């Protein structure tokens, strides 16, 4: 089929996620047809370097025959059976034991879902069930953060702090409240990063008092915010959050849908930022995105109540513990372990990416760069000031990030724009020479963006 035909069919029938359907129809959709390693090809034969791992998920890279084989063989043997009525299946059990082995200490149980959103819905139901069983049903409020992303189901979108999502469909649902995000760039003026970390964590304690300490069930957060623009909190933030959760006895949920399975140079980022969560949300990288799978890792404290005290938790999905998805996960995790991808990101390619990415700091359009393992971001700046908080940023209406993203894509580089912050989360298999190639490509596209913005008269020299 010709690209134009595919585009016409797409527009006629396919409603895309988070998309202005009318506007996309006018532009024409891009068609991705093939992937290998860290590269993709579109229907016109154009090669693209995928700096976003699909959508933060293709951690082991494209074209893994062994995952395809594992999936094929499982489909032949047993394509599906449910886990509801006193039944289980081999891949689901094997994966559960594997997850218990690689999870932080104290995590022995898993509840499977089909996605990260469903996993966060599960969290809402599970923490409320936990407090019910303990005889404290009034503890039903979950505290989250503005600009968080926790999915797009009713509960996922409610936990998330995206204003645009809340505005459509009467969200958040009752019992979910939000505090500010630990974003030093937008809220840390006049403080050191460390001071700001403590300040941002103190908003949790303030909110607990506002809600009433005996009403708060849990706090949820991404160790590093992903969709919100790779917001890497100050090192003081998470330990202080942990201290506050402990002080009031509230459950801590780490949403590791993006940060799980090696992205930050640890198997789970909770270990990196110094927290001991009670529940961990996962999805995406668990299967390297080859087949949908998500779930909740359940720590000792919650398991003791849910499992230890008995009674039915009336929750689950047809595809909870899907044998094919679990087979894909087992093979993806095997690759991560056998190829020592987590260690590589921690000790070799992660630090290399950090230093190469930081070299973009001297570009006239770059006001700030930072990274953690295999996530990184840079902020486009209108005019640089002497310090971070003296930079002049672009007016949001100009959507300069989107202009930059266009130049990136047209020149074979996939980088995501969140406002005027350009972010990457490359496959964990990316090598040093590929990092050089990527950073050179990003610099070239920044040059093109700069020239474009100068022509429009949007940059100050």
Can you give the binding site for ligand PXG, defined by CB under 6 A? Answer: 55, 115-117, 120, 149-151, 222, 226-227, 255, 257-258, 283, 294
Of 11 and 150, the one with the shorter C-beta distance to ligand PXG is 150
Q: 20: which 2 tokens?
A: 């202005």
Shortest Å, Cβ 55 to ligand PXG: 5
Of 157 and 442, the one with the shorter C-beta distance to ligand PXG is 157
Tokens 């399975």 sit at which residue? 261
Of 258 and 366, the one with the shorter C-beta distance to ligand PXG is 258
Shortest Å, Cβ 155 to ligand PXG: 11
Of 115 and 270, the one with the shorter C-beta distance to ligand PXG is 115
Of 378 and 459, the one with the shorter C-beta distance to ligand PXG is 378
Q: 84: which 2 tokens?
A: 């509801």
Shortest Å, Cβ 76 to ligand PXG: 27
Tokens 């304690």 sit at which residue? 205
CB atoms within 10 A of CB 89: 20
d(CA 304, CA 310): 9
The residue number with the shortest CB distance to ligand PXG is 116
d(CA 273, CA 205): 19
Q: 220: which 2 tokens?
A: 């949820």
- For residue 280, list its beta bridge partners: 254, 297
Is the sign of the CA dihedral 313, 315, 319, 320 positive or negative? negative
Of 280 and 453, the one with the shorter C-beta distance to ligand PXG is 280
Shortest Å, Cβ 273 to ligand PXG: 14
Shortest Å, Cβ 117 to ligand PXG: 3
Burial (Cβ within 10 Å: 0-12, 13-18, ≥19) of residue 412:
middle
Of 200 and 224, the one with the shorter C-beta distance to ligand PXG is 224
Of 57 and 305, the one with the shorter C-beta distance to ligand PXG is 57
Q: 330: which 2 tokens?
A: 């087992």
Whether residue 448 contacts residue 411, with contact meaning beta carbons closer than 8 Å, is answered with yes
Of 155 and 305, the one with the shorter C-beta distance to ligand PXG is 155
Query: What's the residue count for the chain?
Result: 461
Closest of 402, 398, 406, 439 to residue 417, by C-alpha = 402
Shortest Å, Cβ 257 to ligand PXG: 3
Q: What letter would DSSP give residue 411?
A: T
C-alpha distances in Å from residue 287, one per residue of 81, 93, 295: 19, 16, 12
Shortest Å, Cβ 56 to ligand PXG: 6
Of 117 and 264, the one with the shorter C-beta distance to ligand PXG is 117
d(CA 308, CA 160): 31
Shortest Å, Cβ 302 to ligand PXG: 19
Question: In terms of DSSP H, where are the helices of 212-299?
Answer: 237-248, 269-273
Shortest Å, Cβ 222 to ligand PXG: 5
Of 228 and 350, the one with the shorter C-beta distance to ligand PXG is 228
Shortest Å, Cβ 213 to ligand PXG: 27
Q: 371: which 2 tokens?
A: 């990274």
Of 39 and 56, the one with the shorter C-beta distance to ligand PXG is 56
Whether residue 293 contacts residue 329, with contact meaning beta carbons closer than 8 Å, is answered with yes
Whether residue 263 contacts residue 223, with contact meaning beta carbons closer than 8 Å, is answered with no
Query: Maximum Cα–Cα distance for the chain, whole Å?
Result: 69
d(CA 420, CA 85): 50
d(CA 356, CA 430): 13
Shortest Å, Cβ 294 to ligand PXG: 6
- The helix or strand, by DSSP H or E, that contains position 218, with its residue range, turns out to be strand 216-221
Burial (Cβ within 10 Å: 0-12, 13-18, ≥19) of residue 176:
buried
Shortest Å, Cβ 388 to ligand PXG: 24
């Amino acid at each position: 089929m010709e690209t134009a035909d595919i585009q016409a069919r797409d527009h006629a029938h396919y409603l895309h996620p988070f998309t202005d359907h009318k506007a996309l129809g006018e532009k024409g959709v891009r068609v991705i047809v093939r992937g290998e390693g860290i590269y993709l090809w579109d229907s016109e034969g154009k090669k693209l370097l995928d700096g976003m791992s699909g959508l933060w998920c293709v951690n082991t890279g494209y074209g893994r025959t062994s995952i395809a084989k594992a999936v094929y063989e499982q489909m032949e043997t047993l394509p599906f059976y449910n886990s509801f009525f006193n039944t289980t299946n081999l891949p689901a059990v094997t994966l559960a034991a594997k997850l218990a082995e690689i999870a932080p200490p104290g995590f022995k149980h898993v509840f499977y879902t089909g996605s990260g959103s469903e996993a966060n819905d599960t969290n809402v139901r599970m923490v409320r069930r936990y407090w019910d069983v303990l005889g404290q049903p009034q503890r039903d409020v979950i505290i989250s953060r503005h600009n968080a992303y926790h999915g797009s189901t009713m509960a996922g979108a409610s936990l998330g702090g995206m204003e645009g999502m809340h505005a459509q469909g009467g969200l958040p649902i009752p019992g979910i409240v939000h505090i500010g995000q630990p974003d030093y760039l937008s809220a840390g003026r006049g403080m050191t990063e460390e001071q700001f970390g403590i300040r941002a964590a103190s908003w949790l304690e303030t909110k607990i008092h506002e809600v009433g300490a005996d009403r708060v069930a849990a706090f949820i957060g991404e160790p590093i915010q992903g969709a919100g623009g790779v917001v890497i909190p100050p090192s003081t933030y998470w330990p202080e959050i942990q201290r506050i959760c402990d002080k009031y006895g509230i459950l801590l949920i780490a949403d590791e849908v993006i940060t799980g399975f090696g992205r930050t140079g640890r198997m789970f980022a909770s270990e990196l930022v110094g927290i001991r969560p009670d529940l961990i949300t996962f999805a995406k990288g668990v299967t390297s995105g080859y087949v949908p799978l998500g779930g909740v890792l359940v720590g000792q404290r919650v398991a003791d109540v849910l499992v230890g005290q008995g009674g039915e938790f009336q929750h689950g999905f047809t595809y909870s513990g899907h044998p094919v998805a679990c087979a894909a996960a087992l093979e993806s995790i095997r690759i991560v372990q056998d190829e020592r991808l987590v260690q590589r990101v921690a000790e070799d390619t992660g630090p290399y990416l950090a230093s190469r990415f930081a070299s973009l700091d001297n570009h006239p359009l770059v006001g700030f760069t930072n990274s953690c393992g295999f996530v990184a971001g840079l902020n486009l700046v209108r005019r640089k000031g002497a310090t971070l908080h003296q930079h002049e940023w672009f007016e949001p209406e100009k959507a300069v990030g989107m202009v930059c993203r266009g130049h990136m894509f047209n020149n074979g580089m996939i980088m995501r724009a969140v406002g005027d912050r350009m972010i990457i989360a490359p496959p964990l298999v990316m090598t040093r020479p590929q990092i050089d190639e990527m950073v050179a490509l990003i610099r070239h596209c920044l040059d093109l963006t700069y020239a474009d913005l100068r022509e429009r008269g949007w940059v100050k020299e």
